[in-house]
Amino acid sequence: MENKEGNTITISFDWISYQNYNPFFDLIVPLLQKEGHRVGIIASLRDKEYSRQNVLIDNKEMIENQLPFKLDFMFLWGESETISNGALWKAQKMDQENVLFHFDVDATDMKKMTERWIFKTLDNTSINKF
């Protein structure tokens, strides 16, 4: 899908970044998609994992149900993902989808793995501490 000028950009964000800045993403994502750009999540959560209460949680379904917009793509660690470095895994997914901009609390580690634009978002333990 191309926008009016024929240029499509792909943007992604981590789930923690969305949770901490959801008013920003809820506003900007539909605007970007309306202009023909692609937006998705690349997060180092397992597709399905057990909570502290030993309850199986489907993270993909939970994310889809909480978002007020539809994603163009979503990558979560599946059962077959064996890579131990989350920053490297995210960088590989960014390359796969040709992501131009990514928002993530792990930006410092990710910048070691890619030349793409990574915007550091503060996690909820760092907000308002500067």
What is the tens place of the pLDDT at every residue in 9-53? Answer: 999 999 988 998 899 999 999 999 999 999 999 998 877 776 787
User: DSSP class of residue 49?
Assistant: E
Choose among 40, 42, 45: nearest CA to 69.
40
Task: With cut-offs at 50, 70 and 90, classify the pLDDT of residue 116.
Answer: low
Domains, the chain, with CATH or none: 10-120 (3.40.50.1000)
What is the pLDDT, as a whole number, of residue 113?
Answer: 62
pTM over 0.85: no
Q: What is the CA radius of gyration of the chain?
A: 15
Tokens 């399905």 found at: 48
Tokens 């997060």 found at: 43
